[in-house]
């Protein structure tokens, strides 16, 4: 898949995720040390992570060491910036998400803003800035709702590192992702490591990584596996290896009518 296609896919997925989030309606809450959840009318945070909690006429502060994480419903300014991204106003969206990351990083939206900002910057052709946006989130968030965006951000970060020939950094991220419990993430990691090897001229190693995806997963995987099959077929055809026909048969049987068939 070329970079343009990856960007289009990322933006399509982003729109799907934000639509789901817009529909969610939850009260602000914190999870205190020990796991107890407390709901409030409003929660705000300062630059150090000190929270201001308000319920009715009562307002109190809580320091970072006294809670695991806080989460508020999607703020209207994040929703507006997501609209800018969907409308392909990339520079404006990126600038807004940079500000929003600082504003909401302690309120459950840091990973989201870093990821969305990076998507905007990548789409605008500013890959180094996109990398900087993603590296704002240096470790996996405690908030489960943020973790999905953290991992999506890590996938994009690995892709950007490969695109910019930062192979060692890409490999470190991909090796971490390869240990995920999510099959799609593991398959993604295999394919990206294959891409990395291919860029380095290590075609044999690249082919082995693509084969891992093709042989370890079944037709339920409708993205990474057919992509791997296409890459294997192209490499084998270039080598004039008749085994290309075997993998071509797998692709056609498991994914009949798929657009991937047109790529071989």
Residues 184 and 220 both lie in one domain: yes
* pTM attached to this predicted model: 0.82
Q: What is the CATH number of the domain that holds 212?
A: 1.25.40.10
CB 53, CB 30: distance < 8 Å: yes
Residues 207 and 127 both lie in one domain: yes
Q: Which of 222, 196, 221, 219 is nearest to 209 (CA)?
A: 196
Q: Which of 164, 216, 173 is nearest to 193 (CA)?
A: 173
Q: pLDDT tens digit string along 93-141?
A: 999 999 999 999 999 999 999 999 999 999 999 999 999 999 999 999 9
Q: Count how many domains the chain has.
A: 2
Residues 119 and 141 both lie in one domain: yes
Q: pLDDT tens digit string along 36-46?
A: 999 999 999 99
Q: pLDDT tens digit string along 203-216?
A: 999 999 999 999 99
Q: Which of 4, 22, 17, 1 is nearest to 152 (CA)?
A: 17
Which residues, in sequence order, are CB contacts of 141 under 8 Å at separation 6+? 69, 110, 111, 147, 150
Phi, psi of 136 (to 5 degrees): -60, -35
19 or 85, which is more confident? 85
Distance CA 66, CA 38 (A): 13
Residues 67 and 81 both lie in one domain: no
Distance CA 12, CA 10 (A): 5
Residues 94 and 61 both lie in one domain: no
Q: pLDDT tens digit string along 44-64?
A: 999 999 999 999 999 999 999
Angle at alpha carbon of residue 83, lines to 88 and 75, rounded to 5°:
145
Residues 48 and 85 both lie in one domain: no
Element (H, E) at 147: helix 144-163
Residues 215 and 249 both lie in one domain: yes
* Host domain of residue 120: 3-26+74-263
Residues 44 and 135 both lie in one domain: no
């Amino acid at each position: 898949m070329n970079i343009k296609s990856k960007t289009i896919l990322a933006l399509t997925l982003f729109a799907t995720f934000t639509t789901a989030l817009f529909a969610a309606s939850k009260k602000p809450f914190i999870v205190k040390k020990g796991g107890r959840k407390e709901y409030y009318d409003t929660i705000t945070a300062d630059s150090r992570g000190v929270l201001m909690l308000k319920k009715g006429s009562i307002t109190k502060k809580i320091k970072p060491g006294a809670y695991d994480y806080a989460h508020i419903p999607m703020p209207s300014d994040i929703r507006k910036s997501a609209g800018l991204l969907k409308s392909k106003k990339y520079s404006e969206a990126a600038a807004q998400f940079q500000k929003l990351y600082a504003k909401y990083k302690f309120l459950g939206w840091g990973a989201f803003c870093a990821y969305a900002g990076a998507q905007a910057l990548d789409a605008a052709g500013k890959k180094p800035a996109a990398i900087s946006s993603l590296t704002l989130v240096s470790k996996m968030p405690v908030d489960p709702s943020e973790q999905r965006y953290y991992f999506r951000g890590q996938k994009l970060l690995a892709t950007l590192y490969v695109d910019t020939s930062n192979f060692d950094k890409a490999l470190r991220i991909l090796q971490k992702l390869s240990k995920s419990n999510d099959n799609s993430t593991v398959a993604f990691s295999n394919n990206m490591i294959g891409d990395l090897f291919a860029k380095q001229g290590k075609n044999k190693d690249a082919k082995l990584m693509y084969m891992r995806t093709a042989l370890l997963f079944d037709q339920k995987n409708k993205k990474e596996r057919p992509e791997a099959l296409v890459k294997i077929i192209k490499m084998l055809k270039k080598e004039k290896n008749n085994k290309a026909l075997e993998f071509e048969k797998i692709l056609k049987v498991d994914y009949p009518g798929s657009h991937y068939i047109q790529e071989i």
